[in-house]
A and B are shown apart, each in its own frame.
Chain A
Amino acid sequence: MALLQAYGFLIVLMVINALLALSLYLPLMSGQLSLASPGFYAFGGYIAAILSTRVFAPADGEPYAVGLVVLEMLIAGVASGALGVLVAIPALRLSGIYLALATIAFVEILRVVSLNLPITGQAVGIFGIPQPFGSQLGYLLLAIPLFLLAVVFVARLERVRIGRAFTAIRADELAASAMGIATGPYKVLAFALGAALAGTTGALAAHFVNTWNARQGTFDASILYLAFVLIGGSRTFVGPVVGGLVLTAVPELLRGSAQVGALPAWLEGFLSGGGRLIIFGVLLAVGTVFFPQGLVTPELLARLRRGRSRPEVAVAEAQP
């Protein structure tokens, strides 16, 4: 339990990052490479920060009700989903790298807007966001259910009609439309689902980190979440989940060992500075060469499930 307390911050952070990786995976399910997640994450966080400090603000000394955080998460999710629809419709004209660039621009626009609006606290941001829990570990009470809900949702989605339409669009948009699939609305839906998840996560994160400002949704974060998805694997939802959890844990654990003096000072400085991004950059470059599909692939999962090697290929080769 003491260990759990010590690592409470890290565990919640891992779950939050896995959720954000999933939020990037959702539009990708329909073939849209969107890096807008940090923008919706920041947007959702501001909604929670504003609601909890201005609207639902508790009387001095009173603890903040957990139910109110849940309510904020719902509001942030719906609002972010709606904003997602607004962004997705013009973005339908773009694809591939151009869509990625446009979504980065969207993140930047939100950041600059929040730096200048009085209601988002401008450069200072919003601080003293009320705490519903006595310790950071308490946040697992909200983070874990949200995580399970998101994982089950995406896992189910991959196996039903709407998810199949997403998959078809990702595989071959033109062939999908020739199958009678109205690609536009499905792409907007996938984009909005990712936005809603990022916004909901942001609302939770705003309470968790206590202060919310324009440093929350930035270009760095876009690249970080992209790394989670690409290194974890982009062809099944398990990839981003694993990527988000593991790639959050590893650098923090390294940094943790730095604090107990196990690492030389220069490495400690490197890891707590920009070093993490450099490592991810290298991982991305190396990963795309040796694991172009990411660590977790549908084939790997099938092999694990069946407990034997590559059955689908074996069947195919058995044919004349």
Chain B
Amino acid sequence: MTAPPAAPTLEVRGLTRRFGGLVAVDDVSFAVQEGEIFGLIGPNGAGKTTLFNLVTGLTPPSAGALLHRGDDITGSPPHVVAQRGIARTFQNIRLFTNLSALGNVMIGRHIHTRSGLLPGVLGFPSSRAEEEAVRERALELLDLVGLRDRAQVRAGSFPYGDQRRLEIARALALEPRVLLLDEPAAGLNTNEKAGLSRFVRELRDRFDLTVLLIEHHVPLVMGLCDRIAVLEFGRLIAVGDPAAVRSDPAVVEAYLGEET
């Protein structure tokens, strides 16, 4: 008896999203395998962020399907997608700026905690224990991104790069199996960019993650990703390993050509 081939971690089939007359994502299909670091590149306005929004349920698709481990989750609301273990960061960083770094990461523990209204407010022992565990776990994650010593600092007052790392820590608090990073290197200096590649690989290995990552900086993507998909005007023009994508004529013409 042979086991059936495992369903891909994430699969999009003919995914399409229209905004009025504009087709932001146009009939895109690909599959991401477990444990991959999967890059998504393309010029500005190509539809990369929209594709992330479709995958995380923030934007409902106009057509097409989305599968997670073989289950059809098309049209699931964002919190259901998150509860399935798909977490993300945002291109335009969406931290809870008025809360401390610790508060932000603690909110990320929501789906792994149970404490109800009265047990929480009355401080039942089970609730107190859970609260303590949430705090501990959040501090560990802050440690991982190097922000533990500033756990009590207001998130909005962090420098840009630290905000990006804090957002990753908050996403990791969900204990996701799939992590979507929208331009995590934006605004980082060269040094930090190099560190980011290492960090993403470390995260993948340590937490058994599948990573989808949007990035404009081509050398970083080529060096980091196992496979890369290229979008242009909402359409998928190439998908494959970095070497194949780099030499794909359509890609060279549409995107990489203008880089050099």
Q: A residues within 8 Å of B by Cβ?
A: 153, 156-157, 160-165, 167-168, 171-172, 174-183, 189, 235, 312-313, 315-316, 319
Question: Assuming the A-B contacts A177-B79, A178-B58, A180-B174, are A164 and B153 also in contact, with contact meaning beta carbons closer than 8 angstroms in the complex?
Answer: no
Q: Do B157 and A313 touch across chains, with their CB atoms under 8 A apart?
A: yes
Closest-by-CB residue of A relative to B121 is A156
Q: Do A160 and B121 touch across chains, with their CB atoms under 8 A apart?
A: yes
B154 contact set on A, CB distance < 8 A: 312, 316
Q: Do A164 and B103 touch across chains, with their CB atoms under 8 A apart?
A: yes
**Within 8 Å of chain A (Cβ to Cβ): is B99?**
yes
Q: Do B116 and A162 touch across chains, with their CB atoms under 8 A apart?
A: yes
Q: Do A319 and B103 touch across chains, with their CB atoms under 8 A apart?
A: no
Across the A-B interface, how many residue pairs have beta carbons closer than 8 Å?
109
Question: Assuming the A-B contacts A167-B96, A171-B97, are A189 and B117 also in contact, with contact meaning beta carbons closer than 8 angstroms in the complex?
Answer: yes
Indicate the member of A153, A176, A178 with the most B CB atoms within 10 Å: A178
16 contacts between A and B (CB under 8 A): A160-B120, A160-B127, A160-B131, A161-B120, A161-B127, A162-B117, A165-B110, A167-B103, A167-B107, A181-B110, A312-B152, A315-B152, A315-B153, A316-B150, A316-B157, A319-B162
> Number of contact residues on B: which range applies?
35 or more
Q: Do A319 and B150 touch across chains, with their CB atoms under 8 A apart?
A: yes
B123 contact set on A, CB distance < 8 A: 156
Q: Do B121 and A182 touch across chains, with their CB atoms under 8 A apart?
A: no
Nearest CB in chain A: distance from B208 CB, A: 19
Closest-by-CB residue of B relative to A177 is B78
Across the A-B interface, the 3 shortest Cβ-Cβ residue pairs: A160-B120, A180-B82, A180-B111
Question: Assuming the A-B contacts A156-B121, A181-B79, are A175 and B90 also in contact, with contact meaning beta carbons closer than 8 angstroms in the complex?
Answer: yes
Q: Do B121 and A157 touch across chains, with their CB atoms under 8 A apart?
A: yes
- In Å, the complex CA distance between A207 and B159 comes to 56
Nearest CB in chain B: distance from A78 CB, A: 14
Question: Assuming the A-B contacts A164-B103, A168-B96, are A179 and B116 also in contact, with contact meaning beta carbons closer than 8 angstroms in the complex?
Answer: no
Question: Assuming the A-B contacts A178-B88, A179-B170, A315-B153, are A165 and B107 also in contact, with contact meaning beta carbons closer than 8 angstroms in the complex?
Answer: yes
**Within 8 Å of chain A (Cβ to Cβ): is B56?**
yes
- In Å, the complex CA distance between A235 and B99 comes to 11
Closest-by-CB residue of A relative to B158 is A316
**Within 8 Å of chain A (Cβ to Cβ): is B234?**
no
Closest-by-CB residue of B relative to A160 is B120
Q: Do A171 and B120 touch across chains, with their CB atoms under 8 A apart?
A: no
Not counting A168-B110, A183-B79, a sample of 10 additional A-B residue pairs whose C-beta atoms are within 8 angstroms of each other reads A157-B117, A162-B120, A174-B78, A178-B87, A179-B111, A180-B83, A182-B77, A315-B152, A315-B153, A316-B158
- In Å, the complex CA distance between A316 and B157 comes to 7
B79 contact set on A, CB distance < 8 A: 177-183
**Within 8 Å of chain A (Cβ to Cβ): is B18?**
no
A164 contact set on B, CB distance < 8 A: 103, 106-107, 110
Question: Assuming the A-B contacts A160-B120, A179-B174, A316-B157, are A174 and B113 also in contact, with contact meaning beta carbons closer than 8 angstroms in the complex?
Answer: no
Nearest CB in chain B: distance from A42 CB, A: 26
- In Å, the complex CA distance between A155 and B98 comes to 18
- In Å, the complex CA distance between A175 and B182 comes to 14
- In Å, the complex CA distance between A162 and B107 comes to 10
Nearest CB in chain A: distance from B110 CB, A: 5
